[in-house]
A and B are shown apart, each in its own frame.
Chain A
Amino acid sequence: MNYTLHIQLSSVEGAVIRALGLIERRGFSLVTCSVSEPDGTGRDMEVTVSSTRPGDLLKRQLERLHDVFSVELKPVASMQAQQPGVRPITRRT
């Protein structure tokens, strides 16, 4: 199952990596991720994830973080629609 998470969180040092680390550690693959700081009061993060685990559990685990202000969760029907203009990956040889 794929989900989009819209996470609003503090701009403090470590907040983004704390949230992203939790997502992977709790068994969700990161598919897309974008972070912005629209008005200086906090960060806005949109993440698409994939997992066999329930998304609402991840939402509650993220909401436990002190840096996180809010989390919205939406199931995503198809991952294709979520991947804008993907470039092929070139590995370093």
Chain B
Amino acid sequence: MNVSTQLAPEQQLSGSQILIEALKRNGVTDFFGYPGGTIMPVYDALVGSGLKHYLCRHEQGAALAADGYGRVTRKPGVCMATSGPGATNLVTGIANAFMDSVPMVIITGQVPSALQGTDAFQEVDIFGITLPIVKHSYIVREIADIPRIVDEAFQLAQNGRPGPVLIDLPKDISAGTGTWIDAPPASLPAAPTADVEALKKASEMLSAARRPLVIAGGGIAISDSVEVFREFISRTGLPVTATLKGLGVMPTDDPSFVGMLGMHGNGAANHAVQNCDLLMVVGARFDDRATGHLAQFAQSARIIHLDIDPAEISKLRKADVAIVSELAPALEAIRPENTAKPTWLAQCEAWKKEFAWRYDAPGEGIYAPRLLRDMCRVRPDNMIVTCDVGQHQMWVAQHCKFNDPLEHLSSGGLGTMGYGLPAAIGAKVAKPESTVVCVSGDGSIMMNVQELATLNRYGIDVKILLFDNSALGLVRQWQEIFFEGNYSEVHLDDNPDFAGVARAFGIQARSVKEPEEAAGAVEWLLNSEGAAMLHVSIDSMENVWPLVPPGKANHRMMRANPVRGK
């Protein structure tokens, strides 16, 4: 961890040099940012520091790249920007990390302390703006505090339920001089330990249940508990569904896995949830996209809720047994008996057969779900898929196969269009040995299209699979179904030539339209040298099925278009 340079006692350093030293002592090697007025002293100290900075081309790109980096490493991704618009441009990325519990440290320049509160040039109260979307935040008031604040920020960002921590750095602090002062160890809350009675009660309830089911949430990946969870499932034989962020906790093809639940979940998963009599929820938070109509969610089930965050217990659904703990030790301590109930497992299996994905959609064009399924048949072992937000995101969740949750980076809580490309940059920087594929749509890609320049600048080998339906597809689908086809601002017939755009940024690209071209084009994408884009034109009227209408129970899912039967 300590990769610092030797500092002589009483050596005079700028606040920026102290900051850089503190970042290095916290294990930072790579980070993402964009310079500007008030952060310039830090960029000055960066030269020759040994830290690798990636210049993104918009601060939102830097924040989302830090998110991708943080997800795959489980260590804080770091981003940096100047005050004012630089800082406000980070906000979406910070909120994204907050909603998905991603460890992140954000450093913003600030106008000099004496000018704060005077509406100075590029002054904005980023500390105030981000209060609702950070785990914690600081304004640095003394140079001597920098090592302590940075140490605390890194530990807080990772401790317990992770999240983003912001450090606002006025220019007089970053440009002023002082000496390095070793920080005292940060005082952090101890990890909660599970209540023994609750563990015992959970074991008893699981043993007694006739139709028990487990929901695997994103917390399992965040806490690095995948192996312990799989061992628990192997030992108990319980069927498992997953939230969007829990995908990959069980391998997609594992016999115990019934699929993703929720609005665009698999029918087997939604029927299993709605019919179970005991639901064990592990590292998940009853998000409305997962539960559907909350009052009708798993109505006949008692709930065992296992989470490290006490504030998630009974927030939306009352827990009959609450276990507030690190996930792994609690899973090891829950020892039910006779949990594999043959009739129930047979029912789950029957639902899996009934609701197995079909790939025989009518239509002459390329069918995106089939292309994704086929890509995963030829995928390399170490593939990471990042997504944007929309129809393609749901098709990835439904039709890609994951062997680990860190193979799937998706903006779950915030639903940030524009997440995919910068997240892919962060993931590839963190895991250069992985094949990183960004699956995007023609709406989403334009939200952070400038990051193609970042790919080219650093030779970052990200493969972009761009589905183009000339529409904001998911909004168009909702307008078709819930707004009587009154299409409003969803047609993108005037899209640019995306392959041409990629080439203009120095990224090789191909465009395909015909189904017979798809397999060869995917092979080209995965095996191309360096960054590449495959632009795939698809039917603009294609929809994502099934769909649980908003406000309806999960078993009331629509399985096909009521008008077109597709």
Residue B323 CB within 8 A of the other chain: no
Q: Which of B273-324 contact A (CB under 8 A)?
A: 309-311, 313-315
Identify B311's interface contact among A17, A18, A60, CB under 8 A.
A60
Instruction: Determine the chain A residues whose CB is within 8 A of the CB of B131 once the complex forms.
Output: 14, 17-18, 21
Instruction: Determine the chain B residues whose CB is within 8 A of the CB of A54 once the complex forms.
Output: 314
Q: With A21-B131, A25-B132, A64-B309 in contact, is A14–B139 under 8 Å at CB?
A: yes
State the CA gap A87–B137 with chains docked (Å): 36
24 A-B residue pairs with CB within 8 Å: A13-B127, A13-B139, A13-B141, A14-B127, A14-B128, A14-B131, A14-B139, A17-B128, A21-B131, A21-B132, A22-B132, A25-B132, A57-B311, A57-B314, A57-B315, A60-B311, A60-B313, A61-B311, A63-B311, A64-B309, A64-B310, A66-B135, A66-B136, A66-B156
State the CA gap A67–B131 with chains docked (Å): 12
- Tell me the smallest distance from the CB of A6 to a CB of chain B, in Å: 18
The contact string, 1 if C-beta is below 8 Å from chain B, for chain A 41-74, is 0000000000000100100110111110000000
Instruction: Determine the chain A residues whose CB is within 8 A of the CB of B139 once the complex forms.
Output: 13-14
Q: Is the interface of A mostly helix, strand, loop or mixed?
A: helix
Instruction: Determine the chain B residues whose CB is within 8 A of the CB of A18 once the complex forms.
Output: 131
- Tell me the smallest distance from the CB of B471 to a CB of chain A, in Å: 35
Q: Which of A6-23 contact B (CB under 8 A)?
A: 13-14, 17-18, 21-22
Instruction: Determine the chain A residues whose CB is within 8 A of the CB of B127 once the complex forms.
Output: 13-14
Instruction: Determine the chain B residues whose CB is within 8 A of the CB of A60 once the complex forms.
Output: 310-311, 313
Instruction: Determine the chain B residues whose CB is within 8 A of the CB of A14 once the complex forms.
Output: 127-128, 131, 137, 139
State the CA gap A8–B137 with chains docked (Å): 18
Closest A residue to B324 by beta carbon equals: A60
- Tell me the smallest distance from the CB of B148 to a CB of chain A, in Å: 12
State the CA gap A61–B131 with chains docked (Å): 14
- Which 10 residue pairs across A and B have the least CB separation, nearest first? A60-B311, A66-B136, A61-B311, A60-B310, A64-B311, A21-B131, A18-B131, A13-B139, A25-B132, A57-B315
Q: Please tell me the size bucket of the interface on B.
A: 10 to 19
State the CA gap A70–B135 with chains docked (Å): 17
Supply 20 further A-B pairs (C-beta < 8 A) apart from A18-B131, A60-B313, A66-B136. A13-B127, A13-B139, A14-B127, A14-B128, A14-B137, A14-B139, A17-B128, A21-B131, A21-B132, A25-B132, A54-B314, A57-B314, A57-B315, A60-B310, A61-B311, A63-B311, A64-B310, A66-B135, A66-B156, A67-B136
State the CA gap A67–B135 with chains docked (Å): 11
Closest A residue to B318 by beta carbon equals: A54
- Tell me the smallest distance from the CB of B183 to a CB of chain A, in Å: 15
The contact string, 1 if C-beta is below 8 Å from chain A, for chain B 21-47, is 000000000000000000000000000
State the CA gap A25–B132 with chains docked (Å): 8
State the CA gap A63–B313 with chains docked (Å): 13
State the CA gap A64–B189 with chains docked (Å): 9
Closest B residue to A18 by beta carbon equals: B131
- Tell me the smallest distance from the CB of B222 to a CB of chain A, in Å: 16
Instruction: Determine the chain B residues whose CB is within 8 A of the CB of A65 once the complex forms.
Output: 136
Instruction: Determine the chain A residues whose CB is within 8 A of the CB of B309 once the complex forms.
Output: 64
Instruction: Determine the chain A residues whose CB is within 8 A of the CB of B314 once the complex forms.
Output: 54, 57
Closest B residue to A20 by beta carbon equals: B131
Instruction: Determine the chain B residues whose CB is within 8 A of the CB of A17 once the complex forms.
Output: 128, 131
State the CA gap A57–B137 with chains docked (Å): 23
State the CA gap A63–B132 with chains docked (Å): 15
State the CA gap A23–B306 with chains docked (Å): 25
Q: Which of B82-97 contact A (CB under 8 A)?
A: none
State the CA gap A91–B156 with chains docked (Å): 43
Closest A residue to B156 by beta carbon equals: A66
Instruction: Determine the chain B residues whose CB is within 8 A of the CB of A57 once the complex forms.
Output: 311, 314-315
The contact string, 1 if C-beta is below 8 Å from chain A, for chain B 305-346, is 000011101110000000000000000000000000000000
Instruction: Determine the chain A residues whose CB is within 8 A of the CB of B135 once the complex forms.
Output: 66
- Tell me the smallest distance from the CB of B79 to a CB of chain A, in Å: 20
Closest A residue to B135 by beta carbon equals: A66
State the CA gap A54–B318 with chains docked (Å): 11
Closest A residue to B187 by beta carbon equals: A66
State the CA gap A21–B129 with chains docked (Å): 11
Q: Which of B139-164 contact A (CB under 8 A)?
A: 139, 141, 156
- Tell me the smallest distance from the CB of A23 to a CB of chain B, in Å: 12
- Tell me the smallest distance from the CB of B300 to a CB of chain A, in Å: 23
State the CA gap A22–B141 with chains docked (Å): 24
- Tell me the smallest distance from the CB of A73 to a CB of chain B, in Å: 13
Chain A CB count within 10 A is highest, among B139, B156, B311, for B311
Asked if B137 contacts A63 (CB within 8 A), the reply is no
State the CA gap A17–B315 with chains docked (Å): 23
Instruction: Determine the chain A residues whose CB is within 8 A of the CB of B315 once the complex forms.
Output: 57
- Tell me the smallest distance from the CB of B139 to a CB of chain A, in Å: 6
Closest A residue to B137 by beta carbon equals: A14
State the CA gap A64–B309 with chains docked (Å): 8
The contact string, 1 if C-beta is below 8 Å from chain A, for chain B 409-447, is 000000000000000000000000000000000000000
State the CA gap A64–B127 with chains docked (Å): 18
Q: Which of B517-548 contact A (CB under 8 A)?
A: none
Closest B residue to A66 by beta carbon equals: B136
State the CA gap A3–B458 with chains docked (Å): 56
State the CA gap A25–B128 with chains docked (Å): 14
Q: Which of B76-128 contact A (CB under 8 A)?
A: 127-128
State the CA gap A14–B139 with chains docked (Å): 9
Chain B CB count within 10 A is highest, among A17, A22, A64, A67, for A64
